[in-house]
Structure 1
Amino acid sequence: MLRDLAKAEWTQRAGLAALTAALGAENIRWVGGAVRDGLLGVAVADVDCATKLMPTEVIAACGRAGIRTVPTGIEHGTVTAILKDGPVEVTTLRRDVATDGRRATIAFAQDWSEDAARRDFTINALYAHPETLEIADYFGGTADLAEGRVRFIGDARQRIAEDHLRILRYYRFQTRFGSGLDSEAEDACADMAHTLKGLSRERIAAELLNLLALPDPHATLVRMRARGPLGVILPEACPAHLAVLERLIAAESTQGFAPDPVRRLAALLPPSPEVAETVAARLRLSKAQRARLVAAAERRAEDAADPKALAYRLTPPLAIDRLLLAGVDARALAGWQAPVFPLKGGAIVARGVTAGPEVARLLQLIERRWVAEGFPSADRVNQMLAEELGTSAFKFD
């Protein structure tokens, strides 16, 4: 059952009331994810606004009301209103003039239904009046939302032809909201999977990681591989790797770790640093994401022998990745911070060792012993140094 939108927290935000007063209630509607999630009782962060006003009119009206605006996408009709309780993207009603599967040439419109017709799924084309919160639903989106059905607006193949990324968006939304499958959507995504090759790597990576961040995308990814889209965007993901992902998702849930898209991407790849580098480059991941993917690919059986030693060497997050991927309990590392090695080179020099390679060798040797013994106290490290030098122990800071 859908919730009363008036009970959604975001509808009570003072900034939205101020924006409504500035632009006029009949000129705007809340639209998209905020309306959809509000009806489902899901927490909402961002609110989007559709308007009959031109971008220049939005800027002028907000200016008169003392609301700062940023022309974040003014060529596409979008102006961002900076409100105390969060920014709101205000976009002029649009219709598509021409599309090529990657980008659209648009013209501004004055009809709410015309704007709705260019959106992807029925559940994303719901408009709420800013004062009454009455829902305008042109394509049966509220019924689809209540029944857990993700359905393209109009002809699925036409929608995909307009923007090929809608294939991946379909799978993400179906995973998040769908309790059943829409055969037209499934067939269209399979038949047009090859069109994903024409998309930018960044757009593909963003959608793939968003899908992997959902609570349990395993069944969707299995279906994507069987129907073709996964093979286009991530050919490395074979049934064996999908099985690793399934075990990882179970381990995350059992051990209390939040879903992590990069860790889950690593599960879909063989444990090969070379492959991880190739995939990271192909998807144009950030340096930090690439480093995590490669570190996860370097996992080996002996990692499980001493989780804290692994975490000390790699950092706890990287160690957690490896352990979870290996099916090993990583809960001992949750919130664990690596201790600081208490021995410094100066303490060794003070014992009569000449500064240089020998000091470095002793530091490394004693640090390895310290880690192997489970990070004992400074007193024990002092004893280790004495043992290596063949002298009696003494105190050091």
Structure 2
Amino acid sequence: MSLRLDRQPWLTDPATRAVMQALTAAGGPGVARFVGGCVRNALIDCAVDDIDIATTLLPQDVMAALAQAGLRAVPTGLAHGTVTAVSGGKGFEITTLRRDVTTDGRNATVAFTDDWSQDAARRDFRLNALYADADGNVFDPTGQGIEDALAGRIIFVGDPHTRIREDYLRILRFFRFMAWYGRGEPDAAAMSACADLASGMDRLSAERVSKELLKLLAASSPVAAVQAMTQAGVLAVILPEARLDERFAAMASISDDAVLRLSVLLPSHAEAASQAAVRLRMPNAVRDRLAAAVSAEPSLDLDERGGRAAVYRQGAAAVADGILRAWAASPEREADARRLLAIARNWTPPRLPVGGRALERLGVPAGPETGRLLKAFEASWIADDFPAEGHDARLRALLDEPRE
């Protein structure tokens, strides 16, 4: 099957054309082709975010070609043949055609080649082993990548076991691409290989695993992929705490937030959620958000006053996350969840209107008693729904209360 990419703004963008012209000037026609995601996404009418280019030029020749054209060249991965060109303020990753020499399941030693079929043979999935020239003509060295992309089939290039042993992250990539681009039942050979080799993911860095997992969970509909991960025993390897139940499907339909979707796979316990995030070396912000979300799960029975109190005490972001989690657990309570979400998202908590000086004016010297009275004032003020007036009277009433 032959195809040509039409009406692709990135293909005709002057910044893109400048890079391709620079490479062509150095090596002649056919020296460079677009590769991978930009070609795949253009074929299936998905957004193109990154533009990668493959070339038969050696890395040092790529650097020289870009310099000759007045373009900035950044040696981002020369050992693996990668140079980043900067054109029109945009980055273009350019990689010399490669073949694997040795691999340990995590890192590969490569040799450069000028054979497009050898380069395609080392890629993960057939729909990613697609190339296109500067005019948009698509090349499909495996002979089945175009059909896979159009049909939503995620199939390894060659033998799945071999591809996975080259880099065990490809197990997670299989499920991630299934979530983003797959349709129908997962490929049986791929599923079998992922199940057979799942334990090999132990050798991957936690950062690579967590990054791939969050990308997977950000897909528009990740449910089938996560179910397949569970079936293959993959989820248990990377996230042994995970419990896949109906809440995950509910959350996937309620929110496209990957962190929230992750939260309903984890135990509803702040320490457990934090430990999982730390083990996967997720950013501190993700760790803290997970812990707060599972801790701040307000009852959907709260009235507006109770909702405001929760936001004041726990923070709007944590309460909003907690409400979405409660909604996922009780999908029939959508109206109540939306009512409380409106408070969390739109209400601005006031600042505590009194401090130590107000108590000093009433004859209370600075000390432990000040802290006790301010804490009691705050509790009373919250219970009365944050009134804007009557603060001195409230303080006097607290002063007149008998001490136990």
- Report the counterpart of residue 330 of structure 2 in structure 1: none
- Report the counterpart of residue 281 of structure 2 in structure 1: 284
- Report the counterpart of residue 395 of structure 1 in structure 2: none
Output the amino acid matched with 2:199. Answer: H
How far is the alpha carbon of 1:125 from its aligned partner?
1.1
Q: Over residues 359-397 of structure 1, what are the superposed CA-to-partner deviations in whole Å (9 max), with x where a residue is unaligned?
A: 3233322222333333332x244543354346xxxxxxx
Residue 295 of structure 2 is aligned to residue 298 of structure 1? yes
Output the amino acid matched with 1:318. Answer: A
Match of 2:81 among 74, 77, 80: 77
Output the amino acid matched with 2:274. Answer: E
- Report the counterpart of residue 251 of structure 1 in structure 2: 254
* TM-score normalised over the length of structure 2: 0.87
Maintained 8 Å contact 2:82/2:96: yes
1:196-275 to structure 2, matched below 5 A, reads 196-239=201-244, 242-252=245-255, 259-275=256-272
Say which SS state the counterpart of residue 54 (structure 2) adopts. strand
Maintained 8 Å contact 1:168/1:207: yes
* TM-score normalised over the length of structure 1: 0.89
Residue 112 of structure 2 is aligned to residue 108 of structure 1? yes
- Report the counterpart of residue 162 of structure 2 in structure 1: 158
- Report the counterpart of residue 60 of structure 2 in structure 1: 56
How far apart, in 2, do the equivalents of 1:358 and 1:10 lie? 67
How far apart, in 1, do the equivalents of 2:392 and 2:223 lie? 51
Output the amino acid matched with 2:166. Answer: E
1:304-319 to structure 2, matched below 5 A, reads 305=302, 306-319=306-319
How far apart, in 1, do the equivalents of 2:13 and 2:352 lie? 50
How far apart, in 2, do the equivalents of 1:3 and 1:205 lie? 36
Maintained 8 Å contact 2:297/2:325: no
Q: Over residues 205-257 of structure 1, what are the superposed CA-to-partner deviations in whole Å (9 max), with x where a residue is unaligned?
A: 11111111112212221222122111111121234xx32222222333xxxxx
Maintained 8 Å contact 1:3/1:40: no
- Report the counterpart of residue 187 of structure 2 in structure 1: 182
How far apart, in 1, do the equivalents of 2:41 and 2:318 lie? 33
How far apart, in 2, do the equivalents of 1:17 and 1:155 lie? 36
How far is the alpha carbon of 1:173 from its aligned partner?
0.5
Q: Over residues 55-93 of structure 1, what are the superposed CA-to-partner deviations in whole Å (9 max), with x where a residue is unaligned?
A: 111111211222112111111111111222421111111
Against the structure 1 CA distance between its residues 94 and 248, is the aligned structure 2 distance closer, same or farther, given a 3 Å change threshold? Answer: same
Residue 55 of structure 2 is aligned to residue 44 of structure 1? no
- Report the counterpart of residue 323 of structure 1 in structure 2: 323
- Report the counterpart of residue 385 of structure 1 in structure 2: 395
- Report the counterpart of residue 65 of structure 1 in structure 2: 69
Output the amino acid matched with 1:235. Answer: P
Maintained 8 Å contact 1:128/1:135: yes
Instruction: List gaps (5 residues or longer) in structure 1.
Output: 253-258, 391-397
Residue 139 of structure 2 is aligned to residue 136 of structure 1? yes
Residue 359 of structure 2 is aligned to residue 352 of structure 1? no
Match of 2:350 among 324, 328, 339: 339
Q: Which moved more, 1:19-28 or 1:331-340?
A: 331-340
Say which SS state the counterpart of residue 5 (structure 1) adopts. coil
1:122-133 to structure 2, matched below 5 A, reads 122-130=126-134, 132-133=135-136
Say which SS state the counterpart of residue 6 (structure 2) adopts. helix
Against the structure 1 CA distance between its residues 60 and 304, is the aligned structure 2 distance closer, same or farther, given a 3 Å change threshold? Answer: farther
Give me the CA root mean square deviation: 2.3
Q: Which moved more, 1:330-339 or 1:300-309?
A: 300-309
How far apart, in 1, do the equivalents of 2:348 and 2:157 lie? 50
| Number of positions where the alignment pairs a residue of Structure 1 with one of Structure 2 | 380
- Report the counterpart of residue 332 of structure 2 in structure 1: none
Output the amino acid matched with 1:190. Answer: A
- Report the counterpart of residue 255 of structure 1 in structure 2: none
- Using the aligned pairs only, state the percent identity: 43
How far is the alpha carbon of 1:312 from its aligned partner?
2.2
Against the structure 1 CA distance between its residues 365 and 197, is the aligned structure 2 distance closer, same or farther, given a 3 Å change threshold? Answer: same
Maintained 8 Å contact 1:30/1:47: yes
How far is the alpha carbon of 1:346 from its aligned partner?
2.5
Instruction: List gaps (5 residues or longer) in structure 2.
Output: 328-336
How far apart, in 1, do the equivalents of 2:314 and 2:8 lie? 43
Q: Over residues 340-374 of structure 1, what are the superposed CA-to-partner deviations in whole Å (9 max), with x where a residue is unaligned?
A: 33333323323332223233233322222333333
Say which SS state the counterpart of residue 111 (structure 2) adopts. strand
Maintained 8 Å contact 2:242/2:265: yes
How far apart, in 1, do the equivalents of 2:390 and 2:114 lie? 77
